[in-house]
A and B are shown apart, each in its own frame.
Chain A
Amino acid sequence: MILGLLGVGALGYAVIRVAFGYPESRYQSLTRADAALVASAAEAMYPAGGAIPSSGTDADLPAYLDRFLVASVARIRILVHLLLFLVEHATLFFPAPGWNGRSRFSALSADQRVAVLDGWSESSLFVRRLVFTTLRALLTLGYFAHPPVLRALKLAPFAIDSPVVEADLLYPRIGEHPDSIRLTRADLTPPGEVTPLRLDGPIRADFSGSNE
């Protein structure tokens, strides 16, 4: 009887913990819980201020990860969802400091989240370090996809006018029919002197702009 009650209680807690209290999701692939975890981890991993003004929140990492998952195959989507679920709820087993340290990751304070992430990154368990490395890799890819970050580091990609080569007469853009190729032999870029790019040269249009 007591065991049964405990079981029902545990099940109820699990359902509430996993399913309730998340805001609506506006994403194609990320669930409400995924989005909350990514947003809270992004804020902890990349806080505002310092040499790079943009924060993980500014970089809208849930939107990036959603695009990444939409572009990925099903198996990767499943693995990433599992990873996010694991980090969100592993505080049950690896709690954050403080009285509420076993709360969901996304419900912790910023300081608690940083402490949890540091715990994962410095763990003596290889699997925990691996989970952290994977999560950080996903967040970092998204953070650097935010143009102001690369501009702040002066690492924005160069503006490059790709020359027209023979292959450009053969291949259409992905998904398009070869009839869409408008280039002809007359458009081929003639051989000529090639000059190295310049560090002070123009950057790609979609990365230009101010960091304000």
Chain B
Amino acid sequence: MSEAPTETSSAAGGSVSVFAQYDRDIDEEVDVVVVGSGPAGAVVSKELAELGKSVLLIEEGPPFVPEEFEIDGGLSMARTMREGGLRATSGTTMPTMQAIALGGGSLVNSAICNRTPDFVLERWCADYELSRTTLPDLEPHYDAVGKFLGISPTPENVQGARNLLFRDGCEALGYTSEPISRNVRGCRGSGECFTGCRTRAKQSMDISYVPAAIRAGARVLTSVRIEEIVADRRRVSAVVGRVVAPFTGKPSYQVRIRAKIVVLAAGCMATPVLLQKSGNLANRSGQVGENLQFHPGVAIMGIFPDPVNPQFGATQGYQSRQFLEDGFKLETLWAPPAITAVRLPGSGQALKDRLADIPYSAIWDAIASCNRSLGRVKAKRGTLNPTLSWHLHPKDIPILSQSLWVLAEIFFAAGARTIIPGIHGVPPEMHTLGEAEVLRTRSLKATDFVLGGNHAFCTTRMHGDPRRGVVNEMGRCHDLENLFIADTGIFPQCPSVNPMWTAMALAHREAHHIAEHL
């Protein structure tokens, strides 16, 4: 591999390599190899590099620069998401996404940062035999990540009407709400978080933690896909894979990285596949790939009498955590107009008339904690893309129905003239709160909802008992002393709020734990 001294290298010896640079097989030895450059992997890499360890961060996707961002929602997904953004679960069919890019999901998420609530962490500790994962345990790690990324509440001047209407509706009903805290510096309200932030305000990993890791001496290999972990008894010795072309995934040169420590941060849907493809590694508990949870999401579009101009404003600027203990969190939402339009009912001229309402619209959504709704990640032949199965448990359906009802309440309290719930079996449009009553009174089936598979968890869950979990609470595999996992797969249950900050806080703790024992 050529290592020309360009500005892609740092004074500390850090560098980033891209597809065009590879011209031979790669065989290297480092202290720590990190697989996956999403929020957790990027944090581990930066922290360990700053602590003087030799770190190699490997990412299958390419780095994206602003000129590469596609405003068009379809092409953006085709370029930045695995399986073109069209991945879905079987069982209860639900689309779910995983990014393939330097920075992982942080490149195309809306930067929401929430600390996992106390009551959830207490439940994790009690039910999963954990002793050091309470909120006070994690606070220093949340703080360190928050300070580095500038996590702060979304300022009012970039909220835009669709976010502020949500606040107004909540206030009218006496529900609590707050500006969403985000890893953003200098937001201009472009509403383009999901297709890549052209204003460079979002502190996605590719422009924050990864450059910091490189400054500290970490080396980054992009367009490298790890396909197997090599293990011998209770230790892993290397990861092997191939250089792959951006977008097509066409493999070329072989890659072998020997390391004292391997950290898997490939994501909740990829890490278990990697373990399964490596001879069912780290799976004496039988829990690898099991317990898959999501925050299934539902949304309502509301049409207001006056223009809302939804294209301006933070993508997700306001939220309500009032109902967390009831199983759902409410938040505002904006997506590329094409994605927004997909949820409108009908076809032909009626559909076009509804499209004309988009400038008067706002979309608010709920993410639900459906702890009874479980699934599985399984490797399939010839690909690292997983087979996903997941079933919405009938007892979790009332959580979704209740969240839709509360969203309807907030819309009408904020002055909406029409709401479009996008649910099969109820009227496509509702004009009064009375009409919306069906959302909570009608018995709905899983297939009646248009669900979104937000976030994903638990497929390599932490548990104090090695027979019931894959890793301990420091992320170390129970079965292998030098294999760590640092993505949301280690969460023992869904966290009830957006998981990025928690994944990063856990990764921060894990990095310092690794450094102490390396």
- Stretch with Cβ within 8 A of B (4 or more), from A21-29, A97-105, A196-204: A196-204
**In-complex Cβ contact of B207 among A45, A137, A167, A175 (8 A):** A167
Write out, one digit per residue, whether chain A residues 141-174 have a CB within 8 A of any chain B CB (1) or not (0): 1111100001001110110101101111111111
- Across the interface, do B86 and A178 meet the contact criterion of CB distance under 8 Å? no
Range, interface on chain A: 35 or more
CA distance A76 to B19 in the complex (A): 24
- Across the interface, do B83 and A73 meet the contact criterion of CB distance under 8 Å? yes
Which residues 38-77 of A have a CB within 8 angstroms of B? Answer: 44-47, 49-52, 64, 67-68, 71-73, 75-76
- Across the interface, do B359 and A153 meet the contact criterion of CB distance under 8 Å? yes
CA distance A117 to B84 in the complex (A): 25
B residues in contact with A169, CB < 8 Å: 7-8
Most buried by B among A46, A68, A174, A177: A174
A residues in contact with B187, CB < 8 Å: 194, 196
B residues in contact with A171, CB < 8 Å: 8, 16, 18, 63-65, 102, 206
Which residues 87-145 of A have a CB within 8 angstroms of B? Answer: 114, 117-118, 121, 126, 129-130, 133, 136-138, 140-145
- Across the interface, do B341 and A140 meet the contact criterion of CB distance under 8 Å? yes
Which residues 170-212 of A have a CB within 8 angstroms of B? Answer: 170-179, 181, 184, 194-197, 199, 204
Q: Does residue A79 face the partner (Cβ distance < 8 Å to B)?
A: yes
User: Shortest beta-carbon distance, B424 to chain A, in Å?
Assistant: 6
Sample (26) of A-B pairs whose CB atoms are under 8 Å apart: A46-B352, A50-B352, A51-B353, A71-B84, A76-B78, A76-B84, A76-B86, A130-B93, A137-B342, A140-B338, A144-B338, A145-B72, A145-B75, A155-B311, A155-B337, A157-B192, A162-B199, A167-B206, A167-B211, A170-B211, A172-B18, A174-B68, A175-B246, A178-B20, A196-B189, A196-B312
For the complex of A and B, the 3 pairs showing the least CB-CB separation, nearest first, are: A141-B74, A144-B338, A51-B356
- Across the interface, do B188 and A196 meet the contact criterion of CB distance under 8 Å? yes
Q: State whether A174 and B74 are in contact (beta carbons under 8 Å apart), knowing that A50-B352, A153-B355 are contacts in the complex.
A: no
- Stretch with Cβ within 8 A of A (4 or more), from B321-329, B343-351, B392-400, B429-437: B343-351
- Across the interface, do A177 and B21 meet the contact criterion of CB distance under 8 Å? yes
Q: State whether A196 and B157 are in contact (beta carbons under 8 Å apart), knowing that A46-B352, A170-B63, A178-B6 are contacts in the complex.
A: yes
Which residues 221-235 of B have a CB within 8 angstroms of A? Answer: none
B residues in contact with A174, CB < 8 Å: 18-19, 62-64, 68, 246-247
Q: Does residue B214 face the partner (Cβ distance < 8 Å to A)?
A: yes
Range, interface on chain B: 35 or more
Most buried by B among A46, A136, A169, A197: A197
Most buried by A among B19, B84, B93: B84
A residues in contact with B63, CB < 8 Å: 167, 170-171, 174
- Across the interface, do B20 and A176 meet the contact criterion of CB distance under 8 Å? yes
- Across the interface, do A181 and B358 meet the contact criterion of CB distance under 8 Å? no
A residues in contact with B353, CB < 8 Å: 50-51
- Across the interface, do B201 and A194 meet the contact criterion of CB distance under 8 Å? yes
Write out, one digit per residue, whether chain B residues 197-215 have a CB within 8 A of any chain A CB (1) or not (0): 0111100001100110010
* B interface residues (Cβ-Cβ under 8 A, vs A): 4, 6-8, 16, 18-21, 62-68, 71-75, 78-79, 83-84, 86, 93, 102, 157-158, 186-190, 192, 198-201, 206-207, 210-211, 214, 246-249, 309, 311-312, 336-339, 341-342, 345-349, 351-353, 355-356, 358-359, 383, 385, 424, 447, 450
User: Shortest beta-carbon distance, A70 to chain B, in Å?
Assistant: 9
Q: State whether A170 and B355 are in contact (beta carbons under 8 Å apart), knowing that A76-B86, A136-B342, A155-B311 are contacts in the complex.
A: no
- Across the interface, do B312 and A199 meet the contact criterion of CB distance under 8 Å? yes
CA distance A39 to B416 in the complex (A): 36
CA distance A166 to B347 in the complex (A): 47
- Across the interface, do B21 and A136 meet the contact criterion of CB distance under 8 Å? no
Q: State whether A50 and B311 are in contact (beta carbons under 8 Å apart), knowing that A68-B78, A76-B84, A170-B63 are contacts in the complex.
A: no
B155 nearest in chain A by CB position: A196
- Across the interface, do B211 and A166 meet the contact criterion of CB distance under 8 Å? yes
B residues in contact with A44, CB < 8 Å: 347-348
- Across the interface, do B342 and A179 meet the contact criterion of CB distance under 8 Å? no
A residues in contact with B341, CB < 8 Å: 140, 143-144
**In-complex Cβ contact of A145 among B74, B84, B86, B158 (8 A):** B74
CA distance A56 to B404 in the complex (A): 32
B158 nearest in chain A by CB position: A196
- Across the interface, do B249 and A47 meet the contact criterion of CB distance under 8 Å? no
- Across the interface, do B352 and A178 meet the contact criterion of CB distance under 8 Å? no
A residues in contact with B93, CB < 8 Å: 126, 130
CA distance A184 to B67 in the complex (A): 17
A67 nearest in chain B by CB position: B75
B208 nearest in chain A by CB position: A167
CA distance A79 to B84 in the complex (A): 11
- Across the interface, do B188 and A194 meet the contact criterion of CB distance under 8 Å? yes
A residues in contact with B20, CB < 8 Å: 172, 175-178
**In-complex Cβ contact of B198 among A118, A162, A196 (8 A):** A162
A residues in contact with B190, CB < 8 Å: 157-158, 160, 197
B311 nearest in chain A by CB position: A155
- Across the interface, do B72 and A141 meet the contact criterion of CB distance under 8 Å? yes
- Across the interface, do A49 and B64 meet the contact criterion of CB distance under 8 Å? no
CA distance A199 to B383 in the complex (A): 45
- Across the interface, do A144 and B72 meet the contact criterion of CB distance under 8 Å? yes
- Across the interface, do A160 and B198 meet the contact criterion of CB distance under 8 Å? yes
B residues in contact with A46, CB < 8 Å: 351-352
- Across the interface, do A173 and B352 meet the contact criterion of CB distance under 8 Å? no
B residues in contact with A117, CB < 8 Å: 347-348
B residues in contact with A173, CB < 8 Å: 65, 67-68
CA distance A118 to B188 in the complex (A): 41
A71 nearest in chain B by CB position: B78
